[in-house]
Amino acid sequence: MSAALDLAGAAHTITADTTETYFTVTDSVGGGTLTIEAGAALEFDDTAGAGFLSTSLAFTLTVTGTSTAWATIKSANSYPDNRWTLPPTGVTGTTTRCQWRDYTGTFPTALILNNPSYILDAYIYATIEELTNLTGTTESDDVIMEILAHSTRRLNTRLSSAGITVSVAGDRTLQSICLDYAVAQLITRYKMDGTVVGSVNVDGFSNQPNLLDHIKYYNDRANEELAMYISTHLPSTYKRVWAQKMNAHG
């Protein structure tokens, strides 16, 4: 866990084109100033409770991004499990060309936002470690993250079309579905890049693995689990309709 930044009534500047990472930012005394210059980034840990503390006394937040060098406030992780908390209501100041990424909370009414950019990445429902342990894959973390992100986007598309919003990561059912989609995508990658090819010879007999069957198995299992999840989590504004086929007689 990173350190906490306590302004303690003083001025602190994250200088141009640098990044500073903290667990929390607060002002225990009040009257302090936090300045984030063009191209600079303030990162928060991907940990519960990270972000600007609601118990902070009033301080000034100034961001001086430009059209060619935006400033950024974000999580230290892409696709974080824990979104950082926005500044509390007592914070004032002016932020120009700041990218607010993967946050939670409400923007202070006295904080002026000039040309802001708001980005909320989808939660990733499973981790690199979980997919690695499940499959034994030796792919790089970047490749595995792309597979998990793609699996999550597939999952979220279905959830969104059903009017279901997921506000936090960690749902164990969604984790299972995401991992099944990810295994299917991982096998697809192996098939496409030639990692798994041809037959395996054991005691003079050749065995040809049917990768398409494996891909279909994991996709079908994920789709079935997702359909059950959606059926039990539909919002009250959605209506369920049952249809029954009747056989005509006579």
Question: Among 101-105, 137-141, 190-194, where is mean pLDDT lowest?
Answer: 190-194
d(CA 6, CA 20): 13
Q: Model pTM greater than 0.75?
A: no
Query: Using only C-alpha atoms, what is the Rg of the chain?
Result: 24
**Closest among 159, 158, 133 to 144, alpha carbons compared:** 133
Condensed to tens digits (0 to 9), the pLDDT of residues 187-237 reads 999 888 887 765 444 455 545 567 888 899 999 999 999 999 999 888 776
Separation of alpha carbons 224 and 242, rounded Å: 18
Strand-pair category, 200-202 with 103-104: unpaired
pLDDT band at 85 (very low <50, low <70, confident <90, very high): very high
List, for residues 180-193, the tens digit of each pLDDT value.
Answer: 999 999 999 988 88
- pLDDT at residue 82 in the model: 84
Are 74 and 45 a contacting pair, CB within 8 Å? no
Average pLDDT, whole number, for the chain?
87
Output the CA–CA distances (angstroms, integers) from residue 101 to 25, 108, 141, in the order listed.
16, 16, 22
Concatenate the DSSP letters of all residues of 3-36 into one string: PPEE-TTSEEEE-TT-EEEESEEE-SSS--EEEE
Give per-residue pLDDT as tens, 35-69. 999 999 999 999 889 999 999 989 999 999 999 99
